[in-house]
Amino acid sequence: MKKKILVVDDEPDILQVITFRLDKAGYAVAGVSNGEEALRMVGEDRPDLILLDVMMPGLDGFEVCRRIKEKTPGQKIIIYTAKVDGVNAAKARASGADDFTVKTADLKHILDAIRKQISN
Q: Give the global pTM.
A: 0.93
Contacts of 62 (CB under 8 A, 6+ apart): 54, 79, 91, 92, 94, 95
**109 vs 47 pLDDT, higher one:** 47
Residue-by-residue DSSP string for 38-92: HHHHHHHS--SEEEEES--SSS-HHHHHHHHHHH-TT-EEEEEES---HHHHHHH
The string of pLDDT tens digits covering residues 77-109 is 999 988 766 677 888 889 999 999 888 777 888
Domain that holds residue 12: 4-119
Overall number of domains in the chain: 1
Percent of the chain's residues with pLDDT above 70: 97
pLDDT for position 89: 80
In which band, very low, low, confident or very high, does the pLDDT at 1 lie, cut at 50, 70 and 90? confident
CB 97 within 8 A of CB 77: yes
Size (the chain), residues:
120
What CATH number does the domain containing 66 carry? Answer: 3.40.50.2300
Kind of pairing between the strands at 76-81 and 28-32: unpaired
DSSP state of 3: P
What is the rounded average pLDDT for all residues in the chain?
Answer: 91
28 Cβ neighbours under 8 A, 6+ residues apart: 2, 3, 4, 5
> Please, which pLDDT band fits residue 44 given cuts at 50, 70 and 90?
confident
pLDDT at 43: 83
